[in-house]
Structure 1
Amino acid sequence: MRRPDGSLAHVWDFLLEQADHSWNARISIATGGVESLVDRRWRSGDYAPRHRVAADEVDGPKSAESSSSSKLQRRLSYVAIPITWQDPREGFEFIVNPESASSPYGWVTANSTAGNNAIAFKGSQAGVASETSPYVFAYSFNGTADPRVPQNVGAAIVNAFYVVNSIHDISYIYGFTEATFNFQDENFGRGGQGNDRITISIQDSAYINYADFATPPDGQSGRLRLFIYDLTHPDRDGGLENDIIAHECAIGIATRLTGGGTAACLQSRISRGMALGWGDAFAEWLEQTGAIADFTLGSYVTGDQRGIRSYPYSRSPAVNPLTYQDGPPSADVHLIGEVWANMLHNVLAALTDNYGWSDNFLVDSSGPSGNVVYMHLYMDGLSIQPCEPTFITARDAFIQAELNRYGGRHYCVIWRVFASKGLGYGAYQDYVNEYSVPPGC
């Protein structure tokens, strides 16, 4: 391993699992001393609002020709919050057959919320939600009732299952596949280790006002835990806020893609903070509609329209003033993430302004539209960036991804955005804002 001072240490690398922790311990072979001890369970913040809420602010592709070819995809329907919507305030829809070719087995392999990509449950993996009628998962959500009543529990399990599977299929067409260490039990001979679908624990009893995702190496299941929030009356369920679920899943994606499936390359303070930023940026990308409006997370579960971050993600420096100088290693990891996510918000806005918006971006990853280009560069950049990325090396990987895939068509547009946030061509690791762009831009 590389130490913070740049020196190298020969280590034993252990993964130690506990109920609330997934410890990655690196022990010096030479001395037996602990070189590093990092919890791989990503705690994405306590999801309590950054501001105290007054009472009047509370919101009321290979075909399946294999030994497994008998497991055919079935047409299923789900009552859930559509993947491009944020939370129950926008409503639920009856969603018919959302599974895609990215999931040759479909999402369900029996008659419950369990399948090749994910299993969603309450309490234990036996606590899955069953079909309410043949091929249909339709639990009625009552927002005025406690989230723990049976119908609301079922609604949350089904919604989280739908969202996680949707993210599997969407991220797949942008490059997060079996060969790049995604989360699936059966990998169809396409590479990767398999046996690592995401486990989704709804209304987990470990905490309140919280969500987390543990990402072990390829071949071991990612573990998503979603909790109850007691910041409103009645309480609210994290399994019903799509941006929280997407944020957590995206941390798993970033952790697997960076470093080639080892899940060991986002452990420094800076890279862990940036992972939180990638999580926010992915959640936002799913829920934007083309105009790239200001974006907040966590407003439903907290009952605070300002959400859980210091500022909305915004094009306007008056709304979000964060720049490169706000993200040094001494900063809180959530602030580091906010700095990076706001830069990515502005990259998405600039690409969309210049190259348009595709309404089919969740099912078609081809074409020149700005939101499609953005997600390709997001995924490609994660795959090629070095272990323990910094703002500078992550920026360089994003730009190199553009050169690799598009040959520089968007090069200056992207550079101008990073420069506008202090991460310019001449920026160094000293976290001093620098606003220049490369020659020719």
Structure 2
Amino acid sequence: MRKNLRRTLAGGVVLAIGITPAAIGAGPAMAYAPAAPARTAESTAAPANYDARHDPAVTGMLQTKAAMLAAKPPASVSDMRSELGDQGIVDLDPLTGTPRQVAKLDGFLTGPSRKPAVQVARDYLRTHADLFGVDPATLKLSRDYVDIEGTSHLSFLQRVGDVPVFGNGIRADVAKNGALIQMTGSPVKQLPAGLAGARLSGDQALQTARRDARETRSTTSDNAKLVAFPTVGGVRLGYQTLTMQSGYLHVIDAQTGRILYRQSLTDYDAGPDALVWDNYPGAPAGGQQRRVSLSKWVTPYAKNLVGNSSHVFSDLNDNNVADAGEDVGQSSPGHFKYPLKQFSGDLCTAQFQCTWDPFTAFSWQANRAMDATQLLYFTSVFHDHLQAAPIGFTRAAGNFETRDGDAVEVNDLDGANTDNGFPDGNHVDNANMSTPPDGTPPTMQMYLQPAPNTPTEDDPYVPSDVGNEASSVYHEYTHGLSNRLVVDAAGVSTLNGPQSGAMGEAWSDWYAYDYLQKEGLEKDTAKPGELVIFEYSTAGANTIRTEPLDCTVGAPASVCPGRPTAGTGGYTYGDFGHISRRGAEVHADGEIWAQTLWDLRTALGYRLTESLVTRAMELAPADPSYLDMRNSILMADLVVDKGRHQRDIWKVFANRGMGFFAATVDGSDTAPVEDFSLPPAPGSPKGSIAGTVTDQDTGLPTAGVAVTFGGHSSGFAGSYAAVTDAAGHYQIKNIFAGTYQKVSAGGAGFEKQVKTVTVTRRPATVDWTVRRDWAASQGGAQVTEFSGEDSSGFGCGPGQAIDMSQGTGWSSDSVVTGGTAIEPRFITVQLPSAVDVTSIEINPTGNCGDDPSSSTGDYRVETSPDGTTWTAAATGHFGPDNRDKMNAVPLSAGTTGVQFVRYTMLGTQVADEGGSCPSQFSGCAFVDTVELAVYGATA
């Protein structure tokens, strides 16, 4: 959305055309509590994506487990890594301890075979049963489709009895010649024989899901089915629900009603004949209406715009239903010929023609039928383009077809009459695409722009229907492609993290302009800066994206201006999280991936690149990072063209900072490290590092600390990781010589320390000093009590105050009692053992989408040895200078033998902002703190 909502909670693959904050959601720290209610009736933002398997309350534990698995892998993992060689990948899922991905970048897992693809996969699983931990005979083949290159994509579901396991099956990709390309999926070992019975019915689960998604009615596509949901505490019986008023997939615990999983399916941004254009009204190429036949897509007797792959109607009241008068009929028998009626205004020119007047109620009616007809044409053309070779988004791959019951429901002029002939503030300057799993119709919504009665300098968009612009429509449609191809074994999209979500936006930009440039509708020469994204909407300005798509690295600032925090010229991997002033943001960060793919297109040509990029989606592991997708494109080249372009592909990615030594923890890492190196040649020198890890507060050697090489501790190029022994010692051998910028030591409550390490032939000593945060949940601390509103469902509950993250925090309700004072809101943290405290540090900053006034002002800290007898240890006031950092509070007493810490927020910073309550300041409704940390030594 281009309009900044007060509290934006859209996560994963949600916002498509505008640039809006995207806060990744999280859930409650306490096990199986009822789902939290909506924060306030005033909040209009959609609930964030959530996955109990990655709740911040368990993230630290999983990170520690991941580090341990990397440092001390099972023998089956070590054997497999040795078998695959230096470019092998054995990436373990810490939740299951089984492989998330097994592959190799320089070949296939098995040789050619004449056996059926299903048998190839089952034989490999049987041979490596100790690695995958499943009996192939127990797996149910749920999907088997062959892409246009002849690759078989197989999905196997695990089951508990007759109930399928959610999200953790196995996927196998087998080349045309019978060679096994890779295995992905993270299967669950030692599934129980059965599960506790359901206390909720399917209807009750649907009601819970609708309430959580703030939906007010059911649709004919809504459904619920039983699934087995893996958690850190075991497998739970749940209902997988689909509610399509706003487009959500949930898993609801069948015993407790708790939300175990929430995924928005919506990506926001933005025989007869007909009059259409091919680009946008007034475009230099494809900007004039011309007569075309719709006979390829619409039957001769069609009375409205129902095609073979989409149904278009004017959803003027935004109820997602074609009410009486909202379908568009023929202009005359056999014709949908509706000439454009132009409007005048400040941004209306011969090149950027306007289709309505934002200052005149119901003016959009003049072009309503033309708008819908144009959308039928655009969606039909792009359906055919994606279906054809070399892309091959076919019925088997999950495309959208009327005959399969999942044609795209295109809601044009969405909400145009929600405010007395105008669109209200929630129905302007945007577009979106909700993509449920295969078999359920997706929904595309196209809005008017700009906002009504708004001067152009405040809302500088050409007055038009977003559906009049080919790039906007193709962008939205491509969300359907990526969300149907990058999926788990059950066909549910896994584009939920910061990096995968950014790639979702990038693919949508790239596929749209790939087609438009190929068709001669957009100009792209060797000169950078020509492909302005959504140029019709913005009258040619870089206001929806910060740079043109074709900006090369080092391009002049005059055409590729960059950002103050990211620099000029084309973006590189190190710019991730720095392009938007709000930090990591999927549209802004997606520009890195989109520009990289445009470089690849320039290097390899559009046909080969279309094939490789699409095949890589089909080969992608769940929730991929940029480096995962780089690897998938390399594997796709092995499949499509026998690896002939490996060096050219590496050059492109290395030039954009995704070289061999680039580092990222996973797809959720918002601070990846770039590198510009090509892979080391075979026989390149290797070295080793060793050292000792000591505790900063005690000076003693520390056992159980993981030392890892970011981006290289998941099996790629060997597992560069180790765990310290009882004497604090560690050693890592067989490391390719080079400079690694994200080597870290930490885990189990120890704050991560990061260094740049250069490895040579000679053994190197790298010692570490780490500091333990005794209040960290990943080190064993836990929230035992709190007061006030529980915002866990928004990713900002009490548990986020002790998750060792400066990107999430605790937010509670602020009930003002007078001046800046509020009803006290406290959190009690039990430490894993008694501690002689040397320091308590707090980051009091506003979070959860609130403005800075919600930061904690007055505060109190108390300590206790037993949770019963309390001592006031510190009191004070945080001001603006204390925001966005950890602040040591002045301790006056209660520092020895401490096992409980109680932190109380007594006021906000509304007065520090020059305000008072009641007012629109966030601090009049919410009070927040980002993090609480406790340091010292065991008593």
Q: Please tell me the TM-score bracket, short chain as reference.
A: 0.7 to 0.9
Contact 1:237–1:301 at 8 Å: present in 2 too? no
The verdict on how the C-alpha distance between 1:154 and 1:98 changes in structure 2, with shifts beyond 3 A counting, is closer
Match of residue 211, structure 1, among 431, 437, 458 = 431
TM-score by length of structure 1 reads 0.78
Contact 1:88–1:241 at 8 Å: present in 2 too? no
Residue in structure 2 matched with residue 198 of structure 1 by the alignment:
408
Query: Partner amino acid for 1:435?
Result: F
Contact 2:300–2:334 at 8 Å: present in 1 too? no
Aligned equivalents of 1:150, 1:175: Cα separation in 2: 38
Q: Report the secondary structure of 1:89's partner residue.
A: coil
Which of 163-172 and 252-261 deviates more? 252-261
Contact 1:323–1:339 at 8 Å: present in 2 too? yes
Query: Partner amino acid for 1:96?
Result: V
Match of residue 544, structure 2, among 308, 312, 330 = 308
Aligned equivalents of 1:108, 1:387: Cα separation in 2: 43
Residue in structure 2 matched with residue 39 of structure 1 by the alignment:
264
Q: Compare CA radii of gyration and give the structure with the larger one.
A: 2
Q: Report the secondary structure of 1:179's partner residue.
A: coil
Residue in structure 1 matched with residue 600 of structure 2 by the alignment:
347
Match of residue 484, structure 2, among 240, 256, 281 = 256
Residue in structure 2 matched with residue 89 of structure 1 by the alignment:
283
Percentage identity across paired residues of the two chains: 23
Contact 2:460–2:538 at 8 Å: present in 1 too? yes
Cα drift, residue 87 of structure 1: 4.8
Cα drift, residue 223 of structure 1: 0.4
1:324-343 maps to which residues of 2 (within 5 A)? 324-327=573-576, 331-343=584-596
Contact 1:296–1:307 at 8 Å: present in 2 too? no
Residue in structure 1 matched with residue 676 of structure 2 by the alignment:
435
1:26 paired to 2:251: yes
The verdict on how the C-alpha distance between 1:337 and 1:214 changes in structure 2, with shifts beyond 3 A counting, is same
Q: Report the secondary structure of 1:120's partner residue.
A: strand
Contact 1:228–1:237 at 8 Å: present in 2 too? yes
Aligned equivalents of 1:410, 1:97: Cα separation in 2: 41
Residue in structure 2 matched with residue 413 of structure 1 by the alignment:
648
Aligned equivalents of 2:445, 2:266: Cα separation in 1: 10
What runs of 5+ residues in structure 1 fail to find an aligned partner? 48-73, 187-193, 352-369
Aligned equivalents of 1:299, 1:315: Cα separation in 2: 15
1:112 paired to 2:313: no
Query: Partner amino acid for 1:437?
Result: L
Match of residue 297, structure 1, among 530, 533, 539 = 533
Per-residue Cα deviation, 1:312-338 (whole angstroms, up to 9, x for no partner): 122433324311112259611222211
Aligned equivalents of 2:681, 2:643: Cα separation in 1: 12
Aligned equivalents of 1:335, 1:409: Cα separation in 2: 33
The answer to which structure has the higher helix fraction is 1
Residue in structure 2 matched with residue 169 of structure 1 by the alignment:
384
Residue in structure 1 matched with residue 210 of structure 2 by the alignment:
none
1:36-435 maps to which residues of 2 (within 5 A)? 36-44=261-269, 74=271, 76-82=272-278, 85-90=279-284, 91-97=287-293, 110-123=302-315, 124-126=321-323, 127-144=326-343, 146-147=355-356, 148-173=363-388, 174-186=391-403, 194-205=404-415, 206-230=426-450, 231=459, 235-259=463-487, 262-288=491-517, 289=520, 291=525, 294-317=530-553, 318=555, 319=560, 320-327=569-576, 331-351=584-604, 370-429=605-664, 431-435=672-676
Aligned equivalents of 1:40, 1:210: Cα separation in 2: 16
Per-residue Cα deviation, 1:55-111 (whole angstroms, up to 9, x for no partner): xxxxxxxxxxxxxxxxxxx3x4332121xx3554342332434766xxxx6577713
Q: Report the secondary structure of 1:96's partner residue.
A: strand
Contact 1:425–1:437 at 8 Å: present in 2 too? yes
Which of 137-146 and 392-401 deviates more? 137-146
The answer to which structure has the higher strand fraction is 2
What runs of 5+ residues in structure 2 fail to find an aligned partner? 1-50, 63-93, 97-230, 316-320, 345-354, 357-362, 416-425, 451-458, 561-568, 666-671, 683-939
Cα drift, residue 195 of structure 1: 0.6
TM-score by length of structure 2 reads 0.38
Q: Report the secondary structure of 1:388's partner residue.
A: coil
Cα drift, residue 297 of structure 1: 1.8
The verdict on how the C-alpha distance between 1:337 and 1:87 changes in structure 2, with shifts beyond 3 A counting, is farther
The verdict on how the C-alpha distance between 1:182 and 1:422 changes in structure 2, with shifts beyond 3 A counting, is same
The verdict on how the C-alpha distance between 1:99 and 1:341 changes in structure 2, with shifts beyond 3 A counting, is farther
The verdict on how the C-alpha distance between 1:176 and 1:301 changes in structure 2, with shifts beyond 3 A counting, is same
Cα drift, residue 133 of structure 1: 3.6
Contact 2:239–2:254 at 8 Å: present in 1 too? no
Aligned equivalents of 1:107, 1:247: Cα separation in 2: 27
Cα drift, residue 136 of structure 1: 3.1
Residue in structure 1 matched with residue 95 of structure 2 by the alignment:
7
Aligned equivalents of 1:234, 1:313: Cα separation in 2: 21
C-alpha RMSD over aligned residues: 2.8
Aligned equivalents of 1:310, 1:271: Cα separation in 2: 20
Contact 2:461–2:538 at 8 Å: present in 1 too? no
The verdict on how the C-alpha distance between 1:399 and 1:98 changes in structure 2, with shifts beyond 3 A counting, is farther
Cα drift, residue 252 of structure 1: 1.0
Aligned equivalents of 1:217, 1:252: Cα separation in 2: 10
Contact 1:119–1:125 at 8 Å: present in 2 too? no
